[in-house]
Amino acid sequence: MLALAPLLARAELWGYVDGAGVAHVASTQVDARYRRLLGDPATQRVPGKSDSAGGLLTWLEIAPEVRSLQPVLREAAATHGIDIELLKALITVESGFNARAVSPRGAVGLMQLMPATADATTEQLLDPRTNVLAGARLMAGLMRRHDGIDVALAAWNAGEGTVRQHGGKMPPLPETRAHVHQVLELYWALLQARPPAPASRLRIQPNLSETAR
Active-site residue list: 94
The DSSP bridge pattern shows strands 13-17 and 23-26 to be antiparallel
SS (H, E, C) 174-186: HHHHHHHHHHHHH
Which segments of the chain are extended strands (E)? Answer: 13-17, 23-26, 35-38, 46-47, 53-54
- How far apart CA 138 and CA 109 sit, in angstroms, is 15
107 Cβ contact partners less than 8 Å away, ≥ 6 residues apart? 94, 113, 114
- How far apart CA 198 and CA 120 sit, in angstroms, is 39
Spatial contact of 118 and 135, defined as CB atoms under 8 Å apart: yes
Residue of 197, 191, 195, 6 lying closest to 86 (CA atoms) = 191
Spatial contact of 189 and 57, defined as CB atoms under 8 Å apart: yes
